[in-house]
Amino acid sequence: MKKVIIILVIYTFLIFLCCLGETYIYRYVPELVPECVSSYRFYRGLSWFLALLPSILISGFCIACSIQWKRNATDSRHRFSPAMIDRYRFVIIASLIFVFILSFSAEICKPVVNRKLSAFENGPLELQNDLKTAETFLTEEKYDLSYIYARRAVAVAPKNAEALSMLKRTKDALEIYNERSRHDDSFVTVDEEEMPLYSQDHSYSVKELIARARAAYEAEEWFDAHYWATLAQEACKGIDTNLDVAHDIADKAWNILRSPSRYESSEMNLIYAKKQKGYIALNAGDYLQAYYIFLELQKTVIGTDPDVERFFALAKEGMENQYFFIDETQNMDLLSNGHNVYFSLKNPDGSKSAYYVKSLMDSKESGKSVRYLKNLTIVKYDRNGNFINCVNAPIAKVISQTTTVFDEDSKKILGIEKNWKTVPYLMMLAVDRNTQGLVSRPSYRYAETGLPLEILEEEELIGLAVDASKIPPAEESSGYAPNTAILPMPYSDFASINMASEAASSMSIFSLMNFIPNAVEYGFSAEVFRESLLSRVMYPLFVLILFVCAASAGWNYRIESKSPHFKTVWLFIILLFGLVMYLIVEIAFYMFNIVNYVLVGTFNQAALVAAAVVYVVIFILASFYFMSRKA
């Protein structure tokens, strides 16, 4: 046993040294940031070693077994002898250790090493981009943004002189700017053109508002009374007498509102309770909930209730024009954790939308998960695949919205399934916290852009090319198109979809399992993801089978000599054998891939179970074969 381990360890270590040696000797290195070159070489050698590791361990194990079992073969003259079963136990224990090492290397080490390598390779380009952007922002006097980019440049290339000098310049500029102007934490203003009702209501003078409030109070229209009184309070801005009056009316109306209703029929009570709930939501600024409550009320109330109509219109305005602040996304570039994310969704009316996000950043806001998107593009196609329109928002915010606010009908209209707990709520309108009129809003295209020549050639398409510089700019939204939307997908899927765009191998196994049933709807190939899942889950079992087979081969082809010495010439044989084994192991893994693909193609949903059955049967056969060996 000891000899086996020693041989294996020496063998593995030798190959590791070979890999390292080779990577330093091998001249070619891609364009890199200068101080990263030696780390790049090291990681490259490491990645070669990790790729070779399975074949090294399997061939080493085979050889070690065949050397180890040179003696005492006579105790296995019959099949299934106890000595053979003892050997089997040893094989299983050793194999399990190796399987653990290999699984660890495949699931954890390889992705990390590959990510580091690609980060190194992207280094120079990123450094260039960051320095350029920092310079641009410096000239535009956006000092905080330029500082962020300078920091990024230094993170990529810590010793680069240019990056360090840029960092110093931007830091100094930022300090000077901060000292010069103290930020004014004044109130936010919003672009009021798109909210006609809201702006109209806010344009009355204090006197008018109080008059309206009083009139409503006398007419026992408590909702209206409270509404106008609240507006009056806001309009007062601290001028005393009118404020007290307004406050008084508001309070009284509110108390009467909040008290339980006293209608005769329970139906009327229900409606009143709903109205209460809706108004409270509207007052609190929860436009979404208010909108859906009043929508439902509109359907159930017989005749027209002016309250419901007015509050519904207000809620709708508020919801469609919900905004967030531009500076919530200020650290987006530094903190973004997803790039080039794409997926498609089927809309409840049969059309299809394709979504693309340049980069995204996750955050938390009052306990809820929030995601900021940069450069969001949504392309809408009808059910036949014809282009309808294309929306582009420079920045967007998505919050997870619980589905309890929607009633059955609304859920059907929005395409929300019963079992979804939260859905993404998209906001594309953003305003600057301090400057009025500085608004970021989505822009629309109603005609296709066409493809420029390079892309036409690259994608092997034939047709009329378009000059990229001559594509007309998109029109800014004019208030007729909504700036918010509910995405018809559960928020949990939305949270994990950025990983699907990277690669199936970057998703964790659990998120992969949740993602696969809907993969096709999101525009990804279910077979590819299922096959990836199958390969990763079955990998340990398959490697175990390979080790048992290697042990059988080691026994079958063990050394027959009577002399106990190990000839030194055999050491060279080990290396040669390792090479041959590499080819065999590569073929075995490729067959593993193909078999998984066939299983996925044949069994679809049940592929995982079928694969488990198949591989367990093969393992039992292999073990059986090993235990039936005899001298």
Partner 1 sequence: MKIKENIIESLKLIFFYTCICIFLCFCSSVLYMVYTLCQNLVAGQTLSFDFNLFMEGFLLFSPVVFIFGSMLMTFFFIRHPCHYILPLICYCVLYAVSWIFIIPAISKVSTTSYETYIEAKTKDMPSSGYFRRNKDKIVYYSYVNEADNSVAGLCIDSNLAENNVYTFSSLKLSHKKTAFTDSLIQNSIDMPPAIAITAQKLLELSLVLRKCASQSFGSTHSFFYWLCFASMGLALLGVIGLRHFSEWRLVNMLFVAMATLGIIVGNTLGYVNPVMVGIEKSFNDVFAKIGIFKPLCTVGNPFIIFCNIFIFIILLVLFFAFEKNSRNLEDL
Cα 550 to Cα 66: distance, rounded to the nearest angstrom: 10
Q: Which long-range contacts (CB under 8 A, 24 or more apart) does 293-301 make?
A: 293/405, 295/410, 296/407, 296/409, 296/410, 297/271, 299/409, 300/271, 301/271
Q: Interface with partner 1 by CB under 8 A: which range of 161-169, 227-235, 304-312, 559-567?
A: 559-567
Cα 295 to Cα 298: distance, rounded to the nearest angstrom: 5
Q: Which amino acid is at 138?
A: L
Task: Show contacts with partner 1 in window 453-472 (CB under 8 A).
Answer: 455-456, 458-463, 471
Consecutive H or E run containing 100: helix 82-104
Least Å from the CB of residue 140 to partner 1: 15
550 binds partner 1 (CB under 8 A): no
| 420 or 603: CB nearest partner 1 | 603
How many Cα atoms occupy the beta-carbon half-sphere of 169 within 13 Å? 18
576 binds partner 1 (CB under 8 A): yes
Least Å from the CB of residue 466 to partner 1: 8
Q: Interface with partner 1 by CB under 8 A: which range of 41-49, 149-157, 318-326, 584-592?
A: 584-592
Residues 6+ apart with CB under 8 A from 530: 516, 600, 604, 607
Quick check: 56 and 614 in contact, CB under 8 A?
no
Give the residue, chosen from 587, 606, 616, 620, that forms a contact with partner 1 under the rule CB under 8 A.
587
179 binds partner 1 (CB under 8 A): no
387 binds partner 1 (CB under 8 A): yes
384 binds partner 1 (CB under 8 A): yes
Least Å from the CB of residue 239 to partner 1: 48
CA dist list (Å): 163 to 34, 131, 176: 13, 7, 20
Give the residue, chosen from 256, 280, 528, 618, that forms a contact with partner 1 under the rule CB under 8 A.
528
Task: Show contacts with partner 1 in window 257-316 (CB under 8 A).
Answer: none
Cα 422 to Cα 401: distance, rounded to the nearest angstrom: 5
| 125 or 616: CB nearest partner 1 | 125
- Tally of residues, the chain: 631
Q: Interface with partner 1 by CB under 8 A: which range of 190-198, 206-214, 240-248, 390-398?
A: 390-398
Task: Show contacts with partner 1 in window 406-425 (CB under 8 A).
Answer: none
607 binds partner 1 (CB under 8 A): no
Task: Show contacts with partner 1 in window 477-516 (CB under 8 A).
Answer: 501
CA nearest 543: which of 105, 104, 98, 107? 98
CA dist list (Å): 579 to 52, 55, 58: 10, 9, 12
Task: Show contacts with partner 1 in window 43-72 (CB under 8 A).
Answer: 62-63, 66
602 binds partner 1 (CB under 8 A): yes
| 397 or 629: CB nearest partner 1 | 629
628 binds partner 1 (CB under 8 A): no
CA nearest 41: which of 142, 120, 150? 120
575 binds partner 1 (CB under 8 A): no
Compose the 326-365 pattern: x for residues touching partner 1 by CB under 8 A, - for all others: -------------xx-xxx-------x-x-x-x-------
Give the residue, chosen from 13, 24, 104, 570, that forms a contact with partner 1 under the rule CB under 8 A.
570
Least Å from the CB of residue 75 to partner 1: 19
Give the residue, chosen from 255, 525, 605, 628, that forms a contact with partner 1 under the rule CB under 8 A.
525
| Paired residues of 362 in beta bridges | 371
CA dist list (Å): 626 to 90, 277, 425, 554: 12, 73, 59, 10
| Paired residues of 242 in beta bridges | none
| 101 or 465: CB nearest partner 1 | 465
